[in-house]
Amino acid sequence: MKRPIPYGHQWIDKSDIQAVIQALKSDWITQGPKVREFERKAAKYCGAKYAVALSSGTAALQAAYLVTGIKKGDEVITSPLTFVATANAIVYCGGKPIFVDIQEDTLNINPKEIKKKVNKKTKAIAIIDFAGHPCDLNEIKRIVRKHNLLIIEDAAHSLGSEYKGKKIGSISDMTIFSFHPVKVITTGEGGMVVTNNKKFCEKLKILRHHGIVKKPKKGNWYYGVENPGYNFRLTDFQSALGINQLRKIDNFIKKRREIVAKYNRAFKDIKEIIIPTEKDYVKSAWHIYVIQLKLDKVKVSRKKIFNELQKRGIGVQVHYIPIHLQPFYRKRFGYKKGDFPTVERYYQRAITLPLFPKMTDKQINRVIKTVKKVIGFYKINKK
């Protein structure tokens, strides 16, 4: 069998390897000058004042929630259509994730639903730019500002995306990125929070380093811990990789967008498939490409199509199982099937196709051909 095409993949070249080797030969291998350079360059790239590098996107989420002051009993309104980390990190802080349904077209949190759930216990709104498509940030801001709530944007999919001409990272109170290998750029593992708020930046830096605050007035050796923090540090050699990846980000996104254009052209006239949306006021970095099957037209389940594609070497995935249907969230918070019809309907019919900048034309064409063949097969055999 031909080698399967994965749904996502890093692109590491010689210059990346060289950058990591250089960093390993320097005096610092954990948090040092490369971390600060990575932070400076990432903040500049997205038009934010401050950036704090952390050991993962999940650590970045947890740190951002803690800085927001989320604690036991607080509620955070969020989308059920995201990676589990967005909600898990709320639970780490003792908070309760309040899920609300998504919009059918962008698959992002529905601003109208947010409004209905705001109450005295609400501490923040955690939004995610699904597949790289930014949320309607102005609309969400308009709603939450009235209630003095902070917006934390999980932008693990949308580094380099734009909303109304502005880069993601420059708009929300805190924006979180992940540098996992399938994301837009990678450091192996890694994450970042960018913000325009100096206080947040300072608190994040303390949190990532055990809660330690230096107090030279009491002696050059002295430090105090007022709140126990974590070891959420990123290494210097990971940051060296991140800096070099960031140099190439525009090309990565260009490639992603070209592949998406090819897929869209190939699938737009197939009546069994709904292709993903990109609103005219955004530019998506296209972390993933999700098609939805019109189940009444395909006449077989998503599972059948999924398995058939997988059997033929297409590394399909499903992003994501709605979080409110996960056993923990059902048991702990009482969520159940039927709570959020739009996301549940989406889940029944979604399939993620391979998309990564290093994809060859041959691989792209193989995905297109295989999808057409598998869907065509069921069409003929069900008539």
Q: Which residues contact ligand PLP by CB under 6 A?
A: 56-58, 82-83, 85-86, 128, 154, 156-157, 178, 180, 191
What is the amino acid identity at position 114?
I
Residue 157 Cβ vs ligand PLP, minimum distance, rounded to whole Å? 6
Tokens encoding 142: 């308009």
Smallest gap from Cβ 97 to ligand PLP, in A, equals: 13
Q: Give the nearer residue to ligand PLP in terms of CB position, either 85 or 137.
A: 85
Q: How far is the CB of 58 from ligand PLP (least distance, A)?
A: 3
E runs forming strands in the chain? 50-54, 75-78, 96-99, 122-128, 150-154, 162-163, 166-167, 174-178, 191-195, 212-214, 223-225, 273-274, 282-283, 289-293, 350-353
Closer to ligand PLP by CB, 58 or 196: give it: 58
Task: Provide, rounded to whole angstroms, the least separation between the CB of residue 56 and ligand PLP.
Answer: 4
User: Least Å distance between CB 156 and ligand PLP?
Assistant: 3
Task: Find the shortest distance in angstroms from Cβ 79 to ligand PLP.
Answer: 9
Q: 11 or 223: whose CB is closer to ligand PLP?
A: 11
Question: Which phi and psi angles does 107 have, rounded to 5°?
Answer: 65, 10
Shortest separation between residue 159's beta carbon and ligand PLP, angstroms: 11
Residue with Cβ nearer ligand PLP (317 or 370): 317
Closer CB to ligand PLP, 56 or 239, in the complex = 56
d(CA 349, CA 200): 40
Residue at shortest CB range from ligand PLP: 57
Residue at 84: amino acid letter = V
Q: Are 277 and 260 in contact (CB under 8 A)?
A: no
Which candidate, 229, 192, 254, places its Cα nearest to that of 37?
192
Check if the beta carbon of residue 177 is closer than 8 Å to that of residue 57: yes
- CA pair distance 359, 182, nearest whole angstrom: 13
Cβ–Cβ under 8 Å, residues 313 and 186:
no
Question: How do beta strands 50-54 and 96-99 pair?
Answer: unpaired
Structure-block tokens of residue 345: 């309907």
